[in-house]
Amino acid sequence: MNLDDIRARIPASRQYVYLNHAACAPLPVDVQAAQKEYVEERALHGDVVYEQWIEKTEATRRLVADFIGGHPEEIAFLKNTSEGINLVATMLPFAENDNVVTTDLEFPSNFLPWYDLQRKGVEFRVVKSRNHVLELADFEKAIDDNTRCVAVSHVEFATGFKNDITALSKLCSDHHAYFFVDPIQSMGALPFNVRETPMDFFSSACYKWLMSELGISIFYIKRDLIDHFHPSYIGWFSLKDYLDYEKFNREHPEITTTARKFECGNLNFYGVCTLHASLQFLNQFSSTWVEERVMNLAAHVIDAVSEKGFEVQTPSDHAGIVNFKVKNPGQVVEALKARNIIVSSRAGGIRVSAHFWNTCEEVDRLVEAVEDICC
């Protein structure tokens, strides 16, 4: 499939220069078709097709597991990234003198739940960035044998700095600390494999680089840990035989031994069906090719804006996000939108996040427009 054929399946490409996947991605026609099919089934058949939704959920669980190199029993579907982070933060066991570690580059969702643990007497430690870079040496100073959990994003949202999660995973292991990762700004753009880079938990919504819908998220817990953690809230989906709910043992309810015990109750089946279609769409392309496209486009952004004299804030260790400084970035973003060029304003600059289906020509149009608006 050539790039023109791929772009033809993304309707937004006909109206916009859409370089904003770090915010919310447009949907391919394949995904729209799956959404339409679900809505029509829901309208026409109601509960008659409930078992089909359950089957699609389990099929999606398998697709997710394959996508991340994990196992289906390690996957739960929640509402958003924040829900999964709060789930981990509230169910971790804490002892006197324990601490948690995060960074000053995190989105609020991966900061506030850890900050809030201070109410329970947990020490809250923040690794400070230097010129938008988080140094491993600073993590080494912050993490000790009393660290209960280290929580970082794989890729930081504002300027695109990419944490060395392999090194951080080993550091956590050396100190017997749990390792939590937020991969929302990498999964779908870069290879992300929980076996190659061991982690204990991750939580990620699906509406960015995975090109799926809001209201559905992926929660991962390492298989060896499932039995060690009890859900912060529980419901009928937590039962082992949840579809036979009338016959469950009320004296000794049997809870499932998979991550499904964290789902509690009925899921966003619309979102599940959307995610299933999104993963099928992305699976048509080599993850290596997708990463190469994303990184080449990011490099082209950096070269193009640097040539025009704009200051690039994105560090050398980065993923698909590129940020460069302009005066009045919010106004520039609005002026670009008026020209059907879609980006975001973050960290006092313009954040560009091109996916594999974008082109260097689109990047050039963006840079020309920014130069025209700013100069």
Neighbours of 96 (CB within 10 A): 7
Which residue bears the tokens 């953690």? 229
Q: What percent of the chain has pLDDT over 90?
A: 97
Mean pLDDT for the stretch of residues 353-374: 98
For residue 262, what pLDDT band results from cuts at 50, 70 and 90?
Answer: very high
Q: Please say whether the beta carbons of 78 and 263 come within 8 A.
A: yes
The per-residue pLDDT for 375 is 81
Mean pLDDT for the stretch of residues 239-250: 89
- Rounded to 5°, the CA angle 167-172-175 comes to 130
Q: Is the pLDDT of residue 263 over 80?
A: yes
Amino acid at 322: V
Q: Is the pLDDT of residue 243 over 90?
A: no
Q: Is the pLDDT of residue 290 over 90?
A: yes
Amino acid at 186: S
Q: Is the pLDDT of residue 24 over 90?
A: yes
End-to-end CA distance of the chain: 40
Amino acid at 82: S
The per-residue pLDDT for 138 is 98
H runs (alpha helix) in 175-286: 269-282
- Mapped onto helix, strand or coil, the DSSP state of residue 338 is helix
Mean pLDDT for the stretch of residues 225-244: 92
Neighbours of 37 (CB within 10 A): 12
The CATH code of domain 33-282 reads 3.40.640.10
The per-residue pLDDT for 114 is 98
Total residues found in the chain within this entry: 375
Q: Please say whether the beta carbons of 301 and 343 come within 8 A.
A: no
Domain assignments of the chain as residue spans, ordered by start: 3-26+286-374, 33-282
CA-closest candidate to residue 130, choices 151, 159, 154: 159
The per-residue pLDDT for 245 is 87
Question: What tokens appear for 164 in the block?
Answer: 């060395």
Q: What is the CA radius of gyration of the chain?
A: 22
Q: Tell me the pLDDT tens digit for each residue of 49-88.
A: 999 999 999 999 999 999 999 999 999 999 999 999 999 9
For residue 1, what pLDDT band results from cuts at 50, 70 and 90?
Answer: confident
The per-residue pLDDT for 89 is 98
Compute CA distances 366 → 17, 200, 213, 300, 332, whole Å.
Answer: 8, 40, 26, 12, 11
The per-residue pLDDT for 2 is 93
The CATH code of domain 3-26+286-374 reads 3.90.1150.10
Q: Please say whether the beta carbons of 358 and 18 come within 8 A.
A: yes
Q: Tell me the pLDDT tens digit for each residue of 115-162.
A: 999 999 999 999 999 999 999 999 999 999 999 999 999 999 999 999
- Mapped onto helix, strand or coil, the DSSP state of residue 364 is helix
